[in-house]
Structure 1
Amino acid sequence: MVGSDAAAPGSFGVGVDKIRKRPDFLRAARALRQGTTGFHLQANPRGDGAGPTRVGFTCSKKVGNAVARNRAKRRLREVARRVLPEKGRPGWDYVLIGRAEVTASHDFEQMCRDLEWALGRVHAQA
């Protein structure tokens, strides 16, 4: 990465952190959900409205072998990097789940629009 504006590897923008612990993933799984063509979104308002937006990613073996799962997760990370700093809410956890045979090959710009749409739906449910 060249230039002073380049984000650090693994960063998702200002105010967006990674979910790292299994209990946080499980809480998101029991909260709000919204499916899209390219992935599923789980969203959990933590109740600490001042905390950072957090995001996690998962792809099961249904998505494919390790190469396919890693490609799908890379695409999900980039979608989150583009959309969540503006559309995500502080104090919320989001988990993006890859879909078999779709996430790795679906149109990237459409996936960004799908995430914006899904965020609007889960925020309206809250």
Structure 2
Amino acid sequence: MQKEYRLKRRNDFRRVFQSGESSANRQFVVVVLSRKGDGPPRIGVSVSRKVGKAVVRNRIRRLVKEVTRHWIPELKPGIDFVVIARTGAASMDYQQVKSSLRHVYRRAGIFRAAPPS
């Protein structure tokens, strides 16, 4: 994922968590916050230690970023959002992560039009 699409600073995460609106399913929670300006969408990923050890957490983080990277053209501009992985995400493969993220992104209203297939 390119730098312009990342949330990196602690203050950015804190702002999204405090002021954003959340949508969830069994595997993921997405917290979305619109920001001033029309810049590219920015994503942050949070995976708790409750989900698993470092190898599992990093694998989930990579899968979420990869799935979202393909959808960047379909995402609304000017939003910041954080994806929080729940324990159910640890045992999922790529296609399951893709399906689950599509569902929760659609619920959060992140896509410009119809969600990609």
TM-score (norm 1): 0.74
Within the candidate set 58, 63, 86, 2:73 is matched to 86
TM-aligned CA distance change 1:111 to 1:99, over 3 Å: same
Within the candidate set 77, 98, 101, 2:85 is matched to 98
**Count, aligned residues:** 109
Within the candidate set 34, 38, 48, 1:60 is matched to 48
Within the candidate set 9, 28, 31, 1:39 is matched to 28
Moved over 6 A (4+): none
Larger helix percent: 2
Query: Distance between the aligned counterparts of 2:58 and 2:31, measured in 1?
Result: 20
Helix, strand or coil at the partner of 1:81 = helix
Query: Distance between the aligned counterparts of 2:17 and 2:55, measured in 1?
Result: 25
Helix, strand or coil at the partner of 1:63 = coil
What CA deviation, in whole Å up to 9, does each residue of 1:31-61 have, x standing for no partner?
A: 111112321111111132x111101111111
Larger radius of gyration: 1
What is the RMSD computed on CA atoms of the aligned residues? 2.1
Q: Note the C-alpha offset of 1:109.
A: 2.5
Helix, strand or coil at the partner of 2:92 = coil
- Give ranges in structure 2 of 5+ residues lacking alignment: 111-117
Contact conserved, 1:75 with 1:103, CA < 8 A, in 2? no
Q: Note the C-alpha offset of 1:82.
A: 2.2
Pairing 1:11–2:2 present: yes
The residue type equivalent to 1:97 in the other structure is I
Contact conserved, 1:87 with 1:119, CA < 8 A, in 2? no
Question: Which position in structure 1 is the counterpart of 2:39?
Answer: 51
What CA deviation, in whole Å up to 9, does each residue of 1:59-107 have, x standing for no partner?
A: 1111111111111111111121122x1332111001111112x223224
Helix, strand or coil at the partner of 2:77 = coil
Q: Note the C-alpha offset of 1:11.
A: 2.6
Q: Note the C-alpha offset of 1:110.
A: 3.5
